[in-house]
Structure 1
């Protein structure tokens, strides 16, 4: 690609050399979702082997991906995000958020979703799929914790916009403190059923730690500030209070790390908490 001289010092132009291709963006999207092997990538994207090989080579050369050998005969590689690649996840999520709002939606800023919309379909398509392996996020003390503890019979993973924020008129955003109090009240029932609880937001670990202390939260709160989970599951977001926020949803994950149920959109928080316990106890 021929560039104007001024583009040589422009970060936008340089990033466009890496991302300014439809297939490159989709390759990165799928690798973020855990499809890291060649055949899986080709199947998910519907790309010819020749073109996929070319795109992967470019992304490796640009330092966004690295190759890791997992089979010697014949030689097979996994393609993994480098630190530079992980740093692109917020950009991918921002593209998704923009597309959901302005192309797939009517431009309304909302923390909920229409039952027949693209976000609804995307969340419910997670049912029956396994989580990407080794998916972890930092907890309130900064230590990485698994999304779904392997020792639990099931896990209820719920995302929420954030605590301590004045949401104003944004539909569906309010109610995070209520949601946590309801989960806290039900915590003994979750424990008796062998079900783990994980709350996830894009707030920083120290913000979550302060909330845990103030509300005596008995379960871990995980921080998705890098949008690792959001990109892996293509979770719906909205932009408010200076950052991208998760829309409220609940996933019930079984012991094999498979999503068994998805509750989204959530209109009645109390009922959703009760339903999540019932579904997880049956998982």
Structure 2
């Protein structure tokens, strides 16, 4: 890429060297989704082996990806995000929110979604997909928790914009918690809030299940979850996922509008019949 002399000291220009290429961005998107092996990337992207090898080499050389050996004969590598690569996830999520709003949408900001829109189609296409291995998020208790509870018969993930916008669903899940627990079903609430913000809310509302913080956008990028921007921050839109112990999404509830009691009832029913 040809650069003007002034670009040597411009962070935007330097970042564009890595993220300004269509295939580089899509490679990073797929690796964030858990497709970390060469053949899986080639299949997801429909990219020739030559071009994919070239793009992966560039991203490794730039320090965004690292190679991890998983097979010696023949030699095979997984491509994993470095700290530098993880720091790009908020950018990918912001690009998605912008595309959903301004390219696939009409430019309006909404905390819900049209049932015939791109976000609806994307969330419901999650059924049958598997979450990345060993995906953990910090929780309100100060400990990193697996997104999918390993000992549960199923895990119900529900996302919410924030404490002030999620009080009703938390109270509904809290009240239904004994039923989930008796069924061996884990419940995890997830937002983009910081852990200390979640802790204050969990203590005030006596929330019995973990509240996980996706401030780094690892889960949001992995599942391409719908977001909206308000007060200068990206917030997760409300949805419910039912996930089995093998980390496979079995059911999706989206959009979750005003009938939150029905969503909690459906989550329990679907989790106990998965």
Deviation at 1:208, TM superposition (A): 0.2
**Cα deviation 1:130-186 (Å, max 9, x = unaligned):** 11111110011332101111100011100000013xxxxxxxxx4x10100000000
Deviation at 1:51, TM superposition (A): 0.3
Question: Moved runs in structure 1, 4+ residues, more than 6 A?
Answer: none
**Cα deviation 1:99-120 (Å, max 9, x = unaligned):** 0000001111001001111000
d(CA) in 1 for partners of 2:228, 2:201: 22
Deviation at 1:242, TM superposition (A): 2.5
5+ long unaligned stretches in structure 2: none
State yes or no: 1:224 paired with 2:224. no
State yes or no: 1:278 paired with 2:255. no
Matches within 5 A, 1:115-134: 115-134=115-134
**Cα deviation 1:193-246 (Å, max 9, x = unaligned):** 110000000000000000000000000000000000000000000011221100
1:244 partner SS? strand
State yes or no: 1:140 paired with 2:140. yes
1:58 partner SS? helix
2:126 partner SS? coil
What residue is the counterpart of 1:195 in the other structure? Answer: 185
Matches within 5 A, 1:201-220: 201-220=191-210
What residue is the counterpart of 1:52 in the other structure? Answer: 52
**Cα deviation 1:15-40 (Å, max 9, x = unaligned):** 00011100000000000000000000
d(CA) in 1 for partners of 2:50, 2:130: 29
Matching residue within 238, 255, 258 for 1:248 = 238
State yes or no: 1:179 paired with 2:159. no
What residue is the counterpart of 2:249 in the other structure? Answer: 259
d(CA) in 2 for partners of 1:144, 1:187: 21
d(CA) in 2 for partners of 1:156, 1:71: 34
What residue is the counterpart of 2:7 in the other structure? Answer: 7
1:129 partner SS? coil
d(CA) in 1 for partners of 2:185, 2:108: 36
d(CA) in 2 for partners of 1:192, 1:68: 41
**Cα deviation 1:57-103 (Å, max 9, x = unaligned):** 00000000000011111111000000000000000000000000000
Q: CA RMSD in A?
A: 0.7
2:163 partner SS? coil
1:282 partner SS? coil
What residue is the counterpart of 1:159 in the other structure? Answer: 159
5+ long unaligned stretches in structure 1: 165-173
- Count of matched residue pairs: 273
State yes or no: 1:98 paired with 2:89. no
State yes or no: 1:235 paired with 2:225. yes
Give the alignment's TM-score, normalised by structure 1: 0.95
1:245 partner SS? strand
